Amino acid sequence: MRTGRDGGAWKAVLLGLAVASFAVASAAAEAPSPAPAPTALTRCAPGTPVEDAVVGTCVETDGAFMTVSTPAHCSTACDTSGTWRMTRNGEAVASGVLAARAEYPGPGTYEIVGTVRVRTADSELAGTTRRTVTLTAPKPRPGYRIDVARGRGSLTYTVARESTDGDGNLRFGLVGEEGTELRSSDPRCANPLASPDSATKRHGHALNCTFNDVRPAKPVKVKVGVHGHGSVVSKLGYWVPRGQEIYTGRMQQGPTVTL
């Protein structure tokens, strides 16, 4: 993030007062309800001195995902970069790269520690920021439920739609550790190509499935053969039509299985 101030005023502490909020429609017992359009708002904590700069800590969230950033006030224009980690009551909750998207853990009071570099045209500063931030945005109810059942040498996933969020067309992905083999005879699934120049060389430890026209009363199932050790993560992606807007996709994390 690039920011700048006139000389002599850079010592002012960065104050962020925006309050994050996110409204979630409650679901009726007899039928799913539509999810509201996400509203991304930001909450910031006062700045921390990092040598000759004052570096703030901000969290932007739409209730499903969040972005942690460290805007800086410097004597000249400057950029910030680095990593962050988030804890609650001393336990690790999340971590990531500054300004990159991460899953939102839900409302609560968190300590965010940033390892930050501040660059200007003439110098590079480094330091640590440590701030407590209280987030109030509730997590929206997941649009889909993902269950997994173990079999002998197999995993069977069931995806059930629980809201009218999205258009019912899904991309379901599984990723195992290197060396794991994931296979399915289901025609809706395929191992992804390992190279754009080859139509036969594929990643055996990953599997992508496409499900169309998933309705609330009609869950879909897929059986996956598994060979190997370690863990297999799952994720679900879908598009949420909203007129002619482009960036309306959603991602949802599924269960992680230890083989």
Cα separation of 211 and 172, whole Å? 8
Tell me, what's the pLDDT at 51?
A: 80
Cα separation of 191 and 104, whole Å? 29
Cα separation of 259 and 68, whole Å? 33
Of the pLDDT bands very low, low, confident and very high (cuts 50, 70, 90), residue 39 is low
pLDDT in tens, 130-180: 999 999 988 878 889 999 999 999 999 999 999 887 888 999 999 999 999
Question: What CATH architecture applies to the domain 144-258?
Answer: Sandwich (2.60)
Which residues are registered as beta bridge partners of 133? 110
Ordered by start, the domain boundaries in the chain are: 2-135, 144-258
51: left (phi over 0), alpha (psi -120 to 50) or beta: left
The set of long-range contacts for 127-131, using a CB threshold of 8 Å and a minimum separation of 24, is 127/48, 127/50, 127/51, 127/55, 128/50, 129/48, 129/50, 129/55, 129/57, 129/70, 130/48, 131/45, 131/46, 131/48, 131/57
pLDDT at 231 over 50: yes
Cα separation of 116 and 125, whole Å? 8
pLDDT at 117 over 50: yes
Backbone angles phi, psi at 184, to 5 degrees: -150, 140
- The predicted model scores a pTM of 0.67
Instruction: Find tokens 């409302």 and name the residue.
Output: 107
Average pLDDT score over residue span 228-237: 95
Q: Output DSSP code: residue 83.
A: E
Average pLDDT score over residue span 10-36: 35
Of the pLDDT bands very low, low, confident and very high (cuts 50, 70, 90), residue 82 is very high
Tell me, what's the pLDDT at 38?
A: 52
